[in-house]
Structure 1
Amino acid sequence: MFTSSPTVYIEPEVPDPFLIDDSDDSDEESAEVTPTESQHVLAQVPLVPVAAPSSPNPFGSPLQSQNRNKDVPPPPLQSDSDEEDAPELYVPGLCIPTMFLPIPNTDPLTTLLNKYIHPPDKRPVRDLTGEWQRTDFHTLVMSNRWRALARMARDRIVTSDPEDLTLILGLWYLRLSSLARLRLFNQTTAECTNLFSLINAIEPPATRAWLYERVLPFELEVMHARLKYWTGDHMAYLDALYALLHKCKTRSRRAKGEPTAVAMWKERGARICLILASQLMEMKDYAAAAKLLEPLCEQGDGVTSPAMRSALARIYLQSGNLARAAHHIAAVAADASTPPPMKEMNAALLAAAEGDWEQASELLRAGVLEENPDNYTAVNNMCVALLSQGKLKEGIEVMEKALKASPQSVVIAEPFLFNLSTLYELRSATAIENKRNLLVEVAKWSGDGLKTTCLKMPTT
């Protein structure tokens, strides 16, 4: 019998679900960004958003933060003659505030917190306002604050000089890629459509062609192709990607005699091939994906790319062609330039595909994690190997240790969270309590844009 009435938690009033992008109290001095700083900003944003599978891959993609210092050929410098030949181009419509939509100031993670974490004071404080003026760009990127980055890009665009097209289009890419990271795909599609409708209306056609060739960031063209994926038209998406691949090949041949330009277009072509292979794998066309990547294993003068061979081997593993996978894994192992952890990871994946889970876990433990305990891809794969051996308790301990050691790196990795949630469900009757604790950690460290289904906590 109750001696007192049970505690009732009253939720606060739900706020307006949209940000107001026109703020009058922003700090103008802190909002100043020079063109040089903006170009540096754009270089740190992931170039191409890649499609995630419908359910997390147990051997998922790398879990560490992306290498922002990746060695990419720089774009060729424009000569004085290029500047003299530049047509007069003034497109003020690129800076009109009505080109943008308001950003929702709530997300699925907040919904989960409101449903599962009580009392409210146990919920981590999360900033969904999009305020960016008092934080430096590096901090915003490293903390996955894509909402603030999208707001920053919009604020900078509407206050920019319309004649500075290079800066404006670079900021447009930052805006759209940040929206995509927030998984606001409908909004990304709408704003990207607005942008390209304006660009494609530029007259005369020669001026428009010059803009595409000389000014428009290639990443924006990739983003524009991506719209077809978000609308569910995957065949049209493949057609758009193949058109971009054809452009890379054509521009590379046309730039013959300019080593920097040739290297740049070849690198872009290789990235398009990887995006195509990813899409083909999602469509279960493993043979086409492998055929596309086979030529990329040899990169000029017979030089082998271990990373590309490893990626190709994993496609063969996923398709069940163990013989071809073993062939490429053996080639990588025989290459003296291949880092030892890559060799051990490949061997572990092959052992797992052959059903030798004990050998796979030993290769990951001794060959990768002893030297590099921060390799969270290996930690994730170790969890899968232990789960397949029925060692649930040990798998949970391995993953929780990684979570405590570097929560900011781990909680943004959806395959990791999916596997840990699965282990909780299989191991204990108190799984819901463990997943609540995991939700709190994710809310503290993950920032914006996490696909919350990986936590396996229904919202309804």
Structure 2
Amino acid sequence: MADYLSQETTTLDGDGDSEPMFTSPSMASVYIEPDVPNPFLIDDDEDDSEEEAGGVTPTRTESVAPPTDEVPLAPTSPNLLGSPLQSPINRNKDVPPPPQSDSDEEDAPELYLPGLCIPTMFLPIPNTDPLTTLLNKYIHPIDKRPVRDLNGEWQRTDFHTLVMTNSWRALARMARDRIVTSDPEDLTLILGLWYLRLSSLARLRLFNQTTAECTNLFSLLNAIEPASTRQWLFDRVLPFELEVMQARLKYWTGDHMAYLDALYALLHKCRVRSRRAKGEAAAVAMWKERGARVCLIIASQLMEMKDFAAAARLLEPLCEQEGVQSPALRSGIARIYLQSGNLGMAAHHFTIVSADADTPAAVRDMNTALMAAAEGDWVQASEVLQAGVLAEDPENYVAVNNLCVALLSQGKLKEGIAVMEKALKASPERVVAEPFLFNLSTLYELRSATAIENKRNLLIEVAKWSGGTFLVVQLDLSDASTA
């Protein structure tokens, strides 16, 4: 249990926020270091002959260290090292709009794909989840169980409310219902709804169903003839996020090397398309943005595979790119070095961040706390978090989580529990996430006299705010009863 507390907070992909926690400096064994591709933002003079022939792009075949214990590099989900990684600039910045071309409508082929809208493309969503199972098992009488919507009713609620309340089941059902009633000629709307459907299923951790429906979608799209029409659809209409989702399928099947290959293929596509768009500023900016995000996802996967050296080599050149000065990116690289146990390189990058006048005070304080924690100075770490980060922003729940770890490392269980319970009470919809719950549950178990009752109350509170599902083993009261 204590090992998890030393890892980083992670979330799903695609897509709630997650933040870094303290990490234990430990060196991972890397048997074969793979060649790392040049980061996307470093332009080169490669010939455009690298463009995909028939939609096939080069893949990465070098070997990396085999996966060991999961150490996710988190974002959203995203301050930099907190599940998928974020852009190296500012997570709140405007994403470049898709380029507009006056000739798009003139060049557009006639496409009518009713197969995208047929109900048999979709599978029924299960009307139960592990959280409901725990409620039925441990919460009695029945009236104490929070009312949870497992049917996915969405007609009485607006889209914004569904997103803010984590109602992924309702969003998935809404997307399906709108797809089957849409005009097959409105491909932009339909494919956008498909992405909403698949990402919502992934949020529900229904990975097998997500894989099946995504496979149905791309099987239909890849069957479009002639090839020129299919290529036009993939280049002009298909959301890039759907291509990333398709690559993610390999991760869910446990084939991490194939996942890296698919990501490298997407990175190659971004670079080629950016070069082809020379002279079109909006198009170049869009493809550079996409390429940078893919680059960060690759670094996240390398971190999970314990290949810290490759992740750092991939990201470090981005810091030297003209016009890309990101304290968040460089801080993230420093935290990779902390994770690998290379305190010297971590301190080097933290020093550069501190010397940057544009670095926010909260980032400086967080870096100071992380470095102190890596050196074993938990007292300084907790003092910096309390007097610095949390004094300026009491709702910085990354700092709250890190402060809990620092207090636990000093043996201050009662104080750590109080800090986390206060955060849960103040903003339950934001802090209900697997790492937070695992840490709080662990603290309850360490104070075993009240563990069962406290975890029962935590289970009820989580059920009020969790519209989806997640790994709920940390809320299983059978663990507390044997602690």
- Which band: TM-score by shorter chain? 0.7 to 0.9
1:93-132 deviation per Cα after TM superposition (whole angstroms, max 9, x unaligned): 0001000000001001000101111111100011111110
- Give the letter for the 1:449 counterpart: T
Q: What CA distance in whole angstroms lies between the structure 2 residues aligned with 1:405 and 1:313?
A: 31
The verdict on how the C-alpha distance between 1:285 and 1:57 changes in structure 2, with shifts beyond 3 A counting, is: closer
Contact 2:154 2:171 in 1 (8 A): yes
The verdict on how the C-alpha distance between 1:50 and 1:436 changes in structure 2, with shifts beyond 3 A counting, is: closer
Contact 1:348 1:363 in 2 (8 A): yes
Give the match for residue 440 of structure 1: 460
**Residue 430 (1) aligns with residue 396 (2):** no
Pick from 329, 344, 349 the counterpart of residue 365 of structure 2: 344
Q: What CA distance in whole angstroms lies between the structure 2 residues aligned with 1:55 and 1:438?
A: 27
Contact 1:59 1:380 in 2 (8 A): no
Contact 1:249 1:266 in 2 (8 A): yes
Give the match for residue 198 of structure 2: 176
Contact 2:15 2:77 in 1 (8 A): no
- Give the letter for the 2:14 counterpart: V
Contact 1:364 1:378 in 2 (8 A): yes
**Residue 365 (1) aligns with residue 386 (2):** yes
Q: CA deviation at 1:314?
A: 0.8
**Residue 318 (1) aligns with residue 339 (2):** yes
Contact 1:281 1:289 in 2 (8 A): yes
Give the match for residue 24 of structure 2: none
Q: CA deviation at 1:260?
A: 1.2
Contact 2:224 2:230 in 1 (8 A): yes
Superposed, which structure 2 residues align to 1:3-402 within 5 Å?
48-49=14-15, 70-77=93-100, 79-301=101-323, 303-402=324-423
The verdict on how the C-alpha distance between 1:63 and 1:276 changes in structure 2, with shifts beyond 3 A counting, is: closer
Pick from 423, 430, 437 the counterpart of residue 417 of structure 1: 437
Q: What CA distance in whole angstroms lies between the structure 2 residues aligned with 1:430 and 1:371?
A: 33
Give the match for residue 16 of structure 1: none
Give the match for residue 36 of structure 1: none
Q: What CA distance in whole angstroms lies between the structure 2 residues aligned with 1:54 and 1:438?
A: 31
- Give the letter for the 2:467 counterpart: G
Give the match for residue 405 of structure 1: 426
Q: CA deviation at 1:59?
A: 10
Give the match for residue 28 of structure 1: none
Give the match for residue 27 of structure 1: none
Q: CA deviation at 1:449?
A: 2.4
Q: CA deviation at 1:80?
A: 2.3
Q: What CA distance in whole angstroms lies between the structure 1 residues aligned with 2:240 and 2:72?
A: 32
Q: CA deviation at 1:149?
A: 0.3
Give the match for residue 9 of structure 1: none
- Give the letter for the 1:362 counterpart: E
The verdict on how the C-alpha distance between 1:405 and 1:217 changes in structure 2, with shifts beyond 3 A counting, is: same
Give the match for residue 7 of structure 1: none
Work out the number of aligned pairs and report it. Answer: 412
1:412-452 deviation per Cα after TM superposition (whole angstroms, max 9, x unaligned): x2211111111111123220110000000000112212321
- Give the letter for the 2:402 counterpart: N
- Give the letter for the 2:475 counterpart: L
- Give the letter for the 1:105 counterpart: N
Q: CA deviation at 1:54?
A: 9.9
Report SS of the residue matched to 1:449: coil
1:42-69 deviation per Cα after TM superposition (whole angstroms, max 9, x unaligned): xxxx973599999897997578999995
Q: What CA distance in whole angstroms lies between the structure 2 residues aligned with 1:458 and 1:235?
A: 37
When the two chains are superposed, the root-mean-square deviation of aligned CA atoms in Å is 2.5
- Give the letter for the 1:420 counterpart: L
Q: What CA distance in whole angstroms lies between the structure 2 residues aligned with 1:59 and 1:80?
A: 41
The verdict on how the C-alpha distance between 1:126 and 1:57 changes in structure 2, with shifts beyond 3 A counting, is: farther
* Larger RCO: 1 or 2 (CA < 8 Å, sep 6+): 2
So what's the TM-score if we normalise by structure 1?
0.85
The verdict on how the C-alpha distance between 1:215 and 1:47 changes in structure 2, with shifts beyond 3 A counting, is: farther
Report SS of the residue matched to 1:429: helix
- Give the letter for the 2:437 counterpart: L
**Residue 455 (1) aligns with residue 478 (2):** no
1:193-248 deviation per Cα after TM superposition (whole angstroms, max 9, x unaligned): 00000000000000000000000000000000000111111110000000000011
So what's the TM-score if we normalise by structure 2?
0.81
Give the match for residue 30 of structure 1: none
1:371-421 deviation per Cα after TM superposition (whole angstroms, max 9, x unaligned): 11100000000000000010111111111111111122112x221111111
Q: What CA distance in whole angstroms lies between the structure 2 residues aligned with 1:58 and 1:429?
A: 33
Q: What CA distance in whole angstroms lies between the structure 2 residues aligned with 1:297 and 1:386?
A: 34
Q: What CA distance in whole angstroms lies between the structure 1 residues aligned with 2:454 and 2:72?
A: 20
1:6-28 deviation per Cα after TM superposition (whole angstroms, max 9, x unaligned): xxxxxxxxxxxxxxxxxxxxxxx
The verdict on how the C-alpha distance between 1:273 and 1:50 changes in structure 2, with shifts beyond 3 A counting, is: farther
Q: What CA distance in whole angstroms lies between the structure 2 residues aligned with 1:51 and 1:442?
A: 17
The verdict on how the C-alpha distance between 1:264 and 1:237 changes in structure 2, with shifts beyond 3 A counting, is: same
Percent identity, aligned pairs only, is 80
Contact 1:368 1:375 in 2 (8 A): yes
Q: CA deviation at 1:456?
A: 5.0
Q: What CA distance in whole angstroms lies between the structure 1 residues aligned with 2:155 and 2:260?
A: 39
